[in-house]
Structure 1
Amino acid sequence: MMARAQQIGVVIGLAIVAALTMLRADDPGIFKLIRGVTFDEYQRLLPRSFEPMPVRVVDIDEASLREFGQWPWPRDRLALLVDRLSQMGAAAIAFDVLFAEPDRLSPRTVVREVAGVDPLLAEKLPDNDEIFAGSIAGKPVVLGFGLSNEGSYRPPVKAGFAVTGESPISAPPVLRASTPLRPQLEANAAGLGHISLNPGNPSPVVRAVPLFLTDGEQLYPNLAIEALRVAQGVSTYVLSGAPDRAGIMTSAKIGDFVVPLTAVGELWLYVTPDRAERYISARQVLSGTGASPDVAAAINGSVIFVGTSAAGLQDIRVTALGENVPGVSLHAQAVEQILSGQFLSRPDWADGLEILTIAVLGCLLVVITTFVSPAVALVCGLLITAMALVASWLSFLHAGLLLDPLAPIVSGSITHFAATSFRILVIDRERREVRRAFGHYLSPSLLHRIEHNRDALRLGGDDRELTVMFVDVRNFTEMSERLAPTDVVAFLNTLLDALSRHVVANEGTLDKFIGDSIMAFWNAPVDVADHEAKAVRTALAMRETLAELNASDAFGFGPDQEVGIGIGIHTGIACVGNMGAKTRFNYSAVGDAVNVAARIESSCKEVGFDILISDSTARSVKGMALIDAGAIPLKGKSSRTKILAVLGDEQVAASREFAALNAVHRQLMQALHSHSKNTRKLMDTAKLRADEVLGGLVEFYRRIPSRTGHFRELSAGNEKSAADAEK
């Protein structure tokens, strides 16, 4: 009864965990808000330290407006600003200003609006847009454009794009339309970039800036990175997409700088407290007496952003530090961050990790709370909370990773509360009833077993096609007689560890170690594509590893004693599953396929070669260097089993040397099978050719994981067999 109550408690707890996991996967707005606030707190605890960078904001501040009048200024004054900044050596001049309408203060525009004025006279007057366009021509000036919900205008793109990996064209936020720029300004600007800091984000806090927008066919850069591109004089952005999936952006290379991005092409801002050193008043640049030497030095070689901090112009944003700053300063901080190389990253696997953490820790808490005391469950919950907080903070501190600790903590707390409540209300009550009823009749150990009763695991298996491998050490009995038991164990540990790693690396299943032997199989418990080829590649890797171990005297036997192995591989139907007793069992395979593989391995001694495979395996191994090793009788089999020797992989099979050797070997095998009167003559001729070919092969096969000696042994063995057949 209690076991059933525990089962119900586990089911209810897991249902709660599943609901919380799906809620986190849906990621509602409240989760995003809490996550954002958490990351803000991390930045407040450890903000990016301000370092002097070649980045400045030319600020159209209150002092500038008092001296030169209200905004917008006539564009001939902006032309003068560009000329002054260019003369002082600005590397790039980026305007966080929209130039969508004609300059209403232009003399030509003003005169046109006066009634009765001759239009020809108006045309002779200067036009401020033309003056501004002429000023920016040939200079490193970047103009900004905004987003619009009307129309279909999209600005031209001044930069090229190169992509590595799959195309990320659909990753960034969508640009449906933008504010049109004045044609002559658009044409003469060295770069164009969007000035939107958090499009579509309802939060007033700017935490991440989209460096690109997309219309599905073209990417449009942000003002900050466009200014950085122009300042370096590069023409192309190099974007990295996911290697196996389109629509994901991982990083962008802008000249000499690589910027890690979120999957949608955003840069997480790592901000500093707002500093006066970042700003230069536009009044100082436009001063009639000229800029001071300090101002000129600050501008020389710097990326300059022109914007406004005047409160009335409503370009004030909130940073992760809770400060109200001009929007233009965030563009400047983005470039500072790129130049400093200090990045924050929330990789695309972060959501998956947090969802998995909720599921795994929730299930763990359900089990602990149900089957262990509430006190232990509470301690485990507190440890999990502490570990989540510490892991998240250390990830931020040392790697700049933004991992949310609150979602797992909140979900774990809810799960723990629900599971504990169910236990107190149901499970513990039933346990107390059992103890009251049977406490006088049963020992504490029996009571414990009653309270924690569970069904035994079922035994059984399934029939499926497997590729089975057996590996055995040659002359192990003789070797072990000469060694102390501890030396035998050390030898086996070294050898079996080195060889078995290749099984795991090639998606095989290590079944068991049988003394000096290894049994492994492929295609269970899950399907493995090309399992025959992977088994053969494992054997070749084992051969190479053993050669390296012998060459380095890893076993301590001395250079004159090499360790040899035999490997047998067969593909067939076997039964695989949990086998043994109800209290102790192993996942293993049995059947005719296993027996055949074991007997092929034992035939390596007779054939004189280290890797033999059956014909059923060879049919699925295309292109590898295989030679016919005949058909051998296997114990318990009425017919002979055709086997092949594995000389090497596809590279060996494609070599001219292997083709020559294979031709000689085929002649020898034909002579063996023909039993003709001319066998001896053919064998003598083939032997000469074999010696000639093998003489040239020695140096070639030393460079690949093969064993030249086996070629000579096979040829010699086949000659002897043919001679015996003739007799």
Structure 2
Amino acid sequence: MRRLRGWFTRITAFRIGLFTGLAFAALHVLQLAGRTDVPVLTRMEGALTDLHFLQRVKLLGSEHSGQVVLAAVDEAAIAKFGRFPWDRRVIAALIDKLDAAGAKAIGFDMSFSDEDLGGQFAGAKRYRKRFEDISLAAPRNRAAIERFDEAESQIAGAASALQLLNRKVKADAEPIYQTAKGRLADGAQKLTASRETFDGLVKQHEAYGAELDQDLGGLDPDSVMGESVARCAAKVVIGVVMLTEPEMRDLHPQDAEEVARQMTAMQIHQPEWRVRADSPISTPLKLTWAKQYAGLRPPLAPILKGTKWIGYFNNLPDFDGVIRHTALTMRVGERYYPSLDASLAAVALGLGPQDIIPITQTPEEGALLESIDFGGKVRVPVDGRGLMTINYLGKDRTFENYSVADIMDGRKDAELRGKIVLVGATAQGTFDQRITPLNKITSGVETHANVVENILSGRFLRRGLGVDLAEVALALLAALGFAFLFARVKVRHALPVLAVCVVSVWTASSVAFWAGYEVFAALPLAELGSMFVLVTVYRYATEERDKRQLRKAFQLYLNPEVMEEMLEHPENLQLGGREDELTVLFSDIRGFTGISEKLEATALVHLLNEYLSPMTEIVLRKRGTLDKYIGDAVMAFFGAPVQTAAHAANGCDAALEMIETLQRMREKWRIEEPALPQIEIGIGINSGPMVVGNMGSSQRFNYTVMGDNVNLASRLEGLTKEYGTHILVTEQTLIAARKGLNDEGAYTVRELDAVRVMGKEEPVRLFELRRRGPATTEEMPLLDGYARALALYRARQFADARLLFESLLKRFAGDGPSALMLARCDRMLSAPPATGWDGVFRMEHK
């Protein structure tokens, strides 16, 4: 339990990223459950959806079935028929023309709820409308007459109660009782007389209204349009407007109820819950989460009388005013009505209003909607409120726009046959400006055309439980994957990786969108951005702190370039040590004890500083690590903390340059400080596996190397004085240096001997490192002669070997290795080695 608690409380870059991703996944679950809403994400999602539409149209173009066309009230039509809205007789003629042309369905994206008061009898029609408002025969005013029945019933009840009291009235109260009884009888007579008078007035108002209708009959544009609608009732959908509660205040309750009664046949089927889409068994429901309105404003009575189909054309813009969804059904109380788009699609499919069935997600009242079933032919996916995401297929005029002027002139008859015709205003100044994902300003009829096309072609943007679960799963996987990625990738590569991830997420969401799925894009992108910022800031803060600590620890003994590379790869610096193939170098001033005795302390310190400074600079420049100063000795190693295949070559180059630099320094000292003694150094180099790391305590440690190969390099440095040479390297170093440079002739060397050092039985071949590159002509005799002499020595031909070594010393006076081997030949001649001697000399001292 403690480990688990520690895992959650210990902060790392991975955990920061993981918890951030999990927070976004949880937020998405809450959004799907309807428990919360993040306006920023909602706005971002809407904008990205619009971008999906624009991207698809640009890359794939606009394609549709061609079965939906627009009868446009455009500038040409207005020039022909006058200012819009037109006389209803023009609309009636348009209906007849479209029917004659063979249109399959006709829908009006306009309302006909206001009486047409234009024309020759405008004044009379206004009087008729005003009379309808104040007439006692009007439905809204009949209620006042019906209250007479209530009053008569109440008076009769009072008289009966008074009659019952007559038995209990005392003699002295009899006059009061008779007075009350008489007044009730008088009131009843007057009420009856008033009722008879009002009944007469109602009959007179009805007769007068009928006379007005007869006088104006045959001339009323609304009646003319109503007759045209009745003739084509099976294919004409009349637009209506759903009303909110404040808008319903202008409509009398009795009128609203009368409207609902008249439009009963135009309602769609009650919602159902089904176990399966094709199941014949269903559970009817009354209340759902479908969008609810207080009522609707119907067409005028002459138009409504012959109407079979209605459809509301209310728009439901999102928070930013863009229309991305449409409600295919809305409810008024327990009554459900279709949208203009749903009605037109049903007409085109040969269905009736009762064939449009809202399907719920669950069988209880107040359930969320799942889809709208069109007679089993099409099942439209919707969200819980009955909203369908509009799959816009293109920009303005994606659908054919035919001017009403051209239609009425008969120039589009062939194009209209079998088409679904939407009649709407498109001329500037005649329509409500709508905003869609593809257009900043467009007419509403274009939106309806896209919806009808979506329903009939089945090109939906689908959501549902499957998509929701997939999004949650992807959010969780993204939390794990992105956290791991941003925690492991180098900080300087984090931004390019973020760009790749953003492109990948966008590509995946675009492919899903093009395949017809409405998937999220904003949340994973916001998740990506948040994880990137938090993890990168944390890593910058912690890595910069670690870099400062490492820089402080290594800046004194690391090449700046190597140090920066190490800071970029701190994983190479494992605290506690690791074993690796490295090269170690030891250098020492010969006879330093005698030199220190001859110099004062200040002079000695000055000499050491002047000597060690360039030697250290050489080591660092050759990508070496300065391990330590041991008095006058320098210890350095190559290949750590930053690994390199050329570690042995770097060590050899550093040794050669140290010798060359010392020669220049001696010349300088000879001129500037002639009192200084002659300084010679010896350098031993060995390569092989050794342990490198921070050695010491937690309070104080040193970055160093340890192992037998380190000890061997130290012994080689001591042997340089014995062999009378400056640089000794082992066979392992020589092989590694040539391999690192991929050049067998990279160095000029002379094999001096094979020795067996104390504590080890494995012989070590010793080489004198002379220069970088091939040997010079002057030194070839020495190298060849020494090699022949060494071969004779190892073959136990000590006398012949002695003659060669002696000859080399005469020609190359002062050659230390030849002098050493000459003396060793003398010892071998006086005391020959035992039988089985392998030519390896055993060192008896360290």
Question: TM-score if structure 2 supplies the norm length?
Answer: 0.46
**1:89 counterpart (102, 122, 125):** 102
Counterparts of 1:168 and 1:424, CA distance in 2: 60
SS in 1 for 2:385: coil
Map of 2:538 onto structure 1: 422
1:333-372 matches, within 5 Å, as 333-347=450-464, 350=467, 353-354=470-471, 357-370=474-487
Aligned match for 1:208, one of 296, 316, 325: 325
Residue number in structure 2 paired with 1:7: 11
Match status 1:124 vs 2:128 = no
Tell me which residue corresponds to 1:559: none
Alignment-mate amino acid for residue 194 of structure 1: Y
Tell me: CA distance 1:215–1:353, structure 2 relative to 1, closer, same or farther (3 Å).
farther
Q: How far does residue 53 in structure 1 lie from its aligned partner after superposition?
A: 2.1
Relative to structure 1, the CA distance from residue 276 to residue 418 in structure 2 (aligned partners, 3 Å threshold; closer, same or farther) is: closer
Superposed CA offset, 1:134-154 (max 9, x none): 221142211111132221746
Deviations 1:95-118 (A, max 9, x none): 111111222126555324479999
Classify 1:188/1:416 alpha carbon distance in 2 versus 1 (closer, same or farther; 3 Å).
same
Take 1:87 and 1:23, find their aligned partners in 2: how far apart are those partners? 57
Q: Output aligned runs, 1:360-509, within 5 Å.
A: 360-370=477-487, 373-374=490-491, 381-397=498-514, 399-426=515-542, 429=545, 447=576
Residues 257-336 of structure 1 mapped to structure 2, 5 A cutoff: 257-265=378-386, 266-275=388-397, 278-287=400-409, 291-292=410-411, 295-322=412-439, 324-336=441-453
Is contact 2:269–2:336 with CA below 8 Å preserved after alignment? no
> Aligned partners of 1:270 and 1:60: how far apart in 2?
22
Count of residues in correspondence between the two structures? 440
Q: How far apart, in 1, do the equivalents of 2:16 and 2:240 lie?
A: 54
Higher-Rg structure is 2
Amino acid across the alignment from 2:92: A
**What SS does the aligned partner of 2:79 have?**
helix
Matched residues in 2 for 1:335 and 1:448: separation? 73
| Pick aligned residue for 2:334 from 202, 205, 217 | 217
2:170 matched residue in structure 1? none
Q: Secondary structure at the match of 2:242?
A: coil
Amino acid at match of 1:279: N
Equivalent residue in structure 1 for 2:269, among 139, 145, 160: 160
Q: Provide the rounded CA distance (Å) in 1 between the counterparts of 2:577 and 2:422.
A: 74
Q: Distance in 2 between matches of 1:318 and 1:23?
A: 29
Contact 1:145 1:194 survives alignment (8 Å): yes
Match of 1:689 in 2: none
Task: For 1:448 and 1:70, locate their aligned partners in 2 and report how far apart those are by CA, in whole Å.
Answer: 92
- Pair 1:241 & 2:254 matched: no
What is aligned with 1:29?
39
- Deviation (angstroms), 1:303: 1.6
Q: 1:131 to 1:361 in 2, by over 3 A?
A: same
Are 2:71 and 1:58 aligned?
A: yes
2 CA distance for matches of 1:276 and 1:250? 27
Cα 1:124–1:447 change in 2 (3 A) is: farther
Contact 2:88 2:222 in 1 (8 A): yes
After TM superposition, the structure 1 = structure 2 runs for residues 137-176 of structure 1, keeping only pairs within 5 Å, are 137-139=230-232, 140-149=235-244, 150-151=247-248, 153=256, 156=264, 157-161=266-270, 163-165=272-274, 170-176=288-294
Give identity over the alignment, percent. Answer: 24
Give the counterpart letter for 1:36 in structure 2.
G
Does the 8 Å CA contact 1:35/1:404 hold for their aligned counterparts?
yes
Contact kept, 8 Å, 2:271 with 2:357, in 1: the verdict is yes
SS in structure 2 of the partner of residue 160 of structure 1 = coil
Q: Aligned in 2, Cα 1:377/1:350: closer, same or farther, shift over 3 Å?
A: farther
For residues 60 and 21 of structure 1, do their structure 2 counterparts lie closer, same or farther at Cα, with a shift above 3 Å needed? same
Code of the residue aligned with 1:65 in structure 2: it is I
CA drift of 1:229 comes to 1.2
What SS does structure 2 have at the residue aligned with 1:85? helix
Change (3 A) 1:316 1:168: farther
Does the aligned pair in 1 maintain the 2:104–2:418 contact within 8 Å?
yes
Deviation per CA, 1:388-434: give whole Å up to 9, x if none: 1221122123x222323332122222222212222332367369759
CA distance in 1, matches of 2:487, 2:66: 58
- In structure 2, the residue corresponding to 1:342 is in which secondary structure? coil
Offset of 1:221 from its aligned partner? 1.3
* Pair 1:160–1:251, CA change in 2 (3 A): closer
Residues 222 and 448 (structure 1), Cα distance of their counterparts in 2 relative to 1, 3 Å cut: farther
**Closer, same or farther: CA 379–273 of 1 in aligned 2, 3 Å:** closer
Cα contact 1:96–1:305 (8 A) shared by 2: yes
Cα pair distance change 1:448/1:75, threshold 3 Å: farther
| Equivalent-residue separation in structure 2 for 1:28 and 1:205 (angstroms) | 18
Q: Which amino acid aligns with 1:172?
A: A
CA 1:414–1:328 in 2, change beyond 3 Å: closer, same or farther? same
Counterparts of 1:9 and 1:332, CA distance in 2: 52
- 1:275-309 CA deviation, whole Å, 9 max, x = no partner? 3861222223334xxx13xx112222222211111
Q: Distance in 1 between matches of 2:577 and 2:385?
A: 55
Q: Does the C-alpha gap of structure 1 residues 127 and 369 become closer, same or farther in structure 2, counting only changes over 3 Å?
A: closer
Instruction: Decide whether the 8 Å contact of 2:65 with 2:457 is kept in 1.
Output: no
Structure 2 CA distance, aligned partners of 1:54 and 1:417?
Answer: 50
Q: Is the 8 A contact 2:286 2:334 kept in 1?
A: no
Task: State the one-letter code of the partner of 2:424.
Answer: G
1:262–1:348: 8 Å Cα contact kept in structure 2?
Answer: no
Letter in 2 for 1:74: D
Tell me the SS of whatever aligns to 2:295. Answer: coil
Q: Which amino acid aligns with 1:189?
A: T
Q: Which amino acid aligns with 1:84?
A: K
Q: What residue number does 2:371 align with?
A: 250
Contact 2:344-2:420 at 8 Å conserved across structures: yes
Tell me the alpha carbon deviations over residues 316-363 of structure 1, each in whole angstroms, 9 at most, x when there is no partner. Answer: 323322263321122122222333333322445545644554454234
- 8 Å CA contact 1:317, 1:326 repeated in 2: yes
- Asked if the contact 1:107/1:128 (under 8 Å) is kept, the reply is no
**Counterpart position of 2:785:** none
Partner of 1:587: none
Instruction: Give RMSD over aligned pairs.
Output: 4.0
1:220 aligns to what SS in structure 2? Answer: strand
Residues 165 and 375 of structure 1, relative CA distance in 2, 3 Å threshold: farther
Q: Tell me, which stretches of 5 or more residues in structure 2 are unaligned?
A: 1-5, 132-207, 276-284, 558-571, 579-846
Alpha-carbon distance between aligned partners in 2 of 1:366 and 1:182, rounded to the nearest angstrom: 64
Q: Give yes or no for the alignment of 1:193 onto 2:311.
A: yes
Provide the C-alpha distance between the structure 2 equivalents of 1:326 and 1:281, rounded to a whole number of angstroms.
Answer: 14
Partner of residue 347, structure 2: 230
Distance in 1 (CA, whole Å) between partners of 2:8 and 2:18 is 15
Matched residue type, 2:238: L
Q: Which amino acid aligns with 2:530?
A: I
